Structure 1
Amino acid sequence: MTFKTLCVGLFFALFLTHMYTSIPDNIEERWKVMALNAVAKTCIFMATCLEKIGIMKFEEFIDMIFRLDYVQPLSDEYITVVDTAFANIPVRLYLPKKKAETPRRAVIYFHGGGFCLGSFKQRALDYLNRWTANKLEAVVVGVDYRLAPRHHFPAQFEDCSAVVRFFLQDSTLAKYGVDPTRICISGDSSGGALAAAVTQQVQNDPKIKHRIKIQALLYPILQTIDIYLPSHRENVHGLFITRDVGIRLLSLYFSKDEALMQAMRRNQHMPLESKHLFKLANWSTLLPEKYRKDHVYTEPILGRSTFSLPALMDHRASPLLANDSQLQNLPLTYVLTCQNDLVRDDGFIYVSRLRNIGVQVAHVHMQDGIHGALSFITLPFYLHLGVRIKDMYVNWLDNNL
């Protein structure tokens, strides 16, 4: 028996052990979701095993899997696609070929991946950005910011901010024929966190001439101070991403110190001086009653950690920690949340806070939604749910940008 045959056999055996998992009743295409979830959980299990025996780090193995799905820039009859750099940050540009009579709209998109994984090169995101450029006849910019754990916060934020600042320069807007009054910042998952944080910065910086017209946050991660929200409790063994994996990636965003990961698992990672921040993310008052009725709020235990990480209290890492004065200048905001999602409540709380201070918000909640659905909009990893989310997002952009 060859080594490859052994590996395939092991993967198949692990796949079968994860195949029959509990799937919510309202999930569409149940068997397909079950199979895709089994693949994801099998890869996670193998990554964990490889790390335990010292062959490679967990995130290195998952990144290797992600890279199998990367695609090169490929232009077609409608869109020119080119990889370049803005402010020394890699970007992929999608430029409509059709001649425009007036300046074009533009969308800057930040990919997800828990701040540790992913790229604009992923097949599904390349397709999403290409589709957006084609349907809106807009310039679309996909951004490859630096990733953890090689680069910790605030590297990711700084890269995304640098790209947006570069793009908002008059010379760049003129070069690509972009209307400075019709620009959107978008992102999914951790990319949603970066989109929210960068939009907060741009809208409040008097040195920046142009402002963002709209922002779109797709199942965003918006806080790291409380890792025991109702959605965290209900999705401990969630589809595609579990609470344990989510915490592992979030902790690597800030530090390689495993003590942080262990503290986050117990929800005991925040310092005493962070107490005043919890009112900004208090789900007992900001989450709709429907989603908190079966849970009792307990404030995280503070001051138990032995490390000092000011980044944990930084609103650039957790956009929910921005105060009301910082949020009041935000543009029209689209927030999409998914019911079966570890970070569902982050989006709900942000919607509540924005509406409370008068910011216009379009909130779409997918009762049959799952985190990362936009990863499943191309063959062979195709789900109707992902396509519905893609179409709703692009249609909203078309109507509001």
Structure 2
Amino acid sequence: MGAKLLCLCLLPALLAYYIYSPMPEGLAEPWKLMVLLTPFKAVGHLAAAVDLLGLMHYMEAMRLITVIETVVATSDENVTVTSTEFNNVPVRLYLPRRAPDGLRRAMVYFHGGGWCLGDAGMKSYDHMCRRVSNELNAVVVSVNYRLAPEHRFPVPFEDVYSVTKFFLQSRVLSQYGVDPTRVCVAGDSAGGNLAAAVAQQLLEDAEVKTKLKAQVLLYPALQTLDLDLPSYRDGDNKPLLPRRLMVRFWSEYFTSDPSLREAMASNRHVPAESGHLFQFVNWSQLLPAGMRKGLAYTAPTYGGAGLARRYPGFLDPRAAPLLASDARLRHLPRTYILTCEHDVLRDDGAMYAQRLRAAGVTVTHDHTQDAFHGAIMFTLWPFELAVAHRLFNSYVEWLKENL
């Protein structure tokens, strides 16, 4: 009896200890967020364990989150939802049911997940896309690109680019009643990375006659050079996407060779001959004072010459859009960038906003002080936060006014 009582007393304490995670000051609903993140934390621990034992690759185990969250394509009274393929790449297509006043707007959407996780059919993405389709009376194409580690860079980029290029053909736009002057690309996190890269690549593709009206980048990952930005420092205290996981995502996008991950973790992966690229990610010049927080900028520490030769992708603007030249940036469409204060990727988005503005691009930079990476996904019960509804509503309002 005494042992049972002791276990009964210890179990809640152990559970509370497991659930507890340090949260940054100023975060909205921190205690509720702590509880909501527990399943993600548990899957992360499980993935690390099976990877250490050699039973399964870390990212394959992490996909348990994707499997649990994925739902079949189901239409409702407002939107017809189907699974199909564009240019042999799976997509989930959202077509509004109500009659249009004229030609419709359209969005090509790329989900997040560090290029290794995620699916267009996850509940949160399905919910977001059908809401955009319904509220804007817009056609939405959500792309299920192939994932790393099975399909490394540039495969995910090539998949999303192939779908976008296919959709922008006049005959396809006409088939779905889309106004060719009102099409955008959008994505969150790794999907924001892909959206930015697609928008840049389209500028140089003479075969594509349709120009994008806008690009929407939700807390995007945009550069691989400096992984010691102010937002990366103390990064293991960031909810959902700690620094170590972001470094793992970046390295797995290119290779499972642990030497690249180790070099990225110590920020010594860029060779000296690529040092000229640091001008494009110099946070001492590109971040507002409030984000620099009095931190001192230090010159890059070079290394990884052999890594850059074996895995040149991390220096490619298709993987790191912030490395694009100013001349290239000035032709991009109007841009919406969402950044969150408590996010390792905060500075990527903020620097891109500054560089785009300097190049003459119309930019709306929506920075949220009380939010974290991935916050906009938490709009459905039981994973629901007030901040997610606020961010999503702002994003949709911008689309209504600018697309």
Structure 1 unmatched runs, 5+: 1-10
Match of 2:376 among 374, 377, 381: 374
Instruction: Provide closer, same or farther for how the CA distance between residues 300 and 73 of structure 1 changes in structure 2, counting only shifts above 3 A.
Output: same
Whole-Å separation in 1 of the counterparts to 2:43 and 2:33: 15
Whole-Å separation in 1 of the counterparts to 2:14 and 2:223: 33
Q: CA deviation at 1:203?
A: 2.8
Whole-Å separation in 1 of the counterparts to 2:122 and 2:281: 32
Residue aligned with 1:124, SS = helix
Conserved? CA contact 1:268–1:305, under 8 Å: no
- Please state if 1:252 is matched with 2:260: no
Q: Deviations over 1:224-279 (max 9, x none)?
A: 11110000003223111211111111100011111110110000111222111000
Whole-Å separation in 2 of the counterparts to 1:327 and 1:36: 39
Whole-Å separation in 2 of the counterparts to 1:245 and 1:357: 32
**Equivalence for 2:237:** 237
Whole-Å separation in 1 of the counterparts to 2:293 and 2:193: 27
- Please state if 1:222 is matched with 2:209: no
Bigger Cα displacement from structure 2, 202-211 vs 186-195: 202-211
Conserved? CA contact 1:92–1:141, under 8 Å: yes
**Equivalence for 1:326:** 328
Residue aligned with 1:397, SS = helix
- Please state if 1:59 is matched with 2:74: no
Whichever residue aligns with residue 373 of structure 1, its letter is: A
After the TM superposition, list the runs of 4 or more consecutive aligned residues in structure 1 that deviate by more than 3 angstroms: 11-18
Whole-Å separation in 2 of the counterparts to 1:13 and 1:109: 43
Residue aligned with 2:73, SS = coil
Q: CA deviation at 1:28?
A: 2.2
Structure 2 unmatched runs, 5+: 1-10
Whole-Å separation in 2 of the counterparts to 1:305 and 1:202: 30
Q: CA deviation at 1:87?
A: 0.5
Whichever residue aligns with residue 353 of structure 1, its letter is: R
Whichever residue aligns with residue 351 of structure 1, its letter is: A
- Please state if 1:141 is matched with 2:141: yes
Residue aligned with 1:82, SS = strand
Q: Identity of paired residues, percent?
A: 46
Conserved? CA contact 2:79–2:134, under 8 Å: yes
Q: CA deviation at 1:380?
A: 1.1
- Please state if 1:124 is matched with 2:124: yes
Q: CA deviation at 1:378?
A: 1.0
Q: Deviations over 1:322-352 (max 9, x none)?
A: 0011101011100000000010000110011
Q: CA deviation at 1:100?
A: 1.8
Bigger Cα displacement from structure 2, 234-243 vs 18-27: 18-27
Whole-Å separation in 2 of the counterparts to 1:14 and 1:302: 44
Instruction: Provide closer, same or farther for how the CA distance between residues 251 and 15 of structure 1 changes in structure 2, counting only shifts above 3 A.
Output: farther
Whole-Å separation in 1 of the counterparts to 2:39 and 2:181: 44
Match of 2:395 among 384, 387, 393: 393
Instruction: Provide closer, same or farther for how the CA distance between residues 126 and 114 of structure 1 changes in structure 2, counting only shifts above 3 A.
Output: same
Instruction: Provide closer, same or farther for how the CA distance between residues 18 and 283 of structure 1 changes in structure 2, counting only shifts above 3 A.
Output: farther
Instruction: Provide closer, same or farther for how the CA distance between residues 25 and 302 of structure 1 changes in structure 2, counting only shifts above 3 A.
Output: closer
Instruction: Provide closer, same or farther for how the CA distance between residues 12 and 185 of structure 1 changes in structure 2, counting only shifts above 3 A.
Output: farther
**Equivalence for 2:7:** none
Q: What is the TM-score with the length of structure 2 in the denominator? A: 0.94
- Please state if 1:26 is matched with 2:54: no
Instruction: Provide closer, same or farther for how the CA distance between residues 226 and 319 of structure 1 changes in structure 2, counting only shifts above 3 A.
Output: same
Bigger Cα displacement from structure 2, 243-252 vs 294-303: 294-303
Conserved? CA contact 1:18–1:42, under 8 Å: no
**Equivalence for 2:81:** 81
Residue aligned with 1:198, SS = helix
Conserved? CA contact 2:22–2:237, under 8 Å: no
Whole-Å separation in 2 of the counterparts to 1:74 and 1:113: 23
Whichever residue aligns with residue 204 of structure 2, its letter is: N
Conserved? CA contact 2:24–2:237, under 8 Å: no
Residues matched between the structures, number: 391
Conserved? CA contact 1:263–1:305, under 8 Å: no
Whole-Å separation in 2 of the counterparts to 1:33 and 1:236: 16
**Equivalence for 2:5:** none
Q: Deviations over 1:15-39 (max 9, x none)?
A: 5333222223322222210112333
Q: CA deviation at 1:305?
A: 5.0
- Please state if 1:273 is matched with 2:267: no
Whichever residue aligns with residue 276 of structure 1, its letter is: H
Q: How does 1:327-346 map to 2 (within 5 A)?
A: 327-346=329-348
Bigger Cα displacement from structure 2, 265-274 vs 122-131: 265-274
Q: What is the TM-score with the length of structure 1 in the denominator? A: 0.94
Whole-Å separation in 2 of the counterparts to 1:344 and 1:284: 14
Residue aligned with 1:365, SS = strand
Whole-Å separation in 1 of the counterparts to 2:301 and 2:205: 35
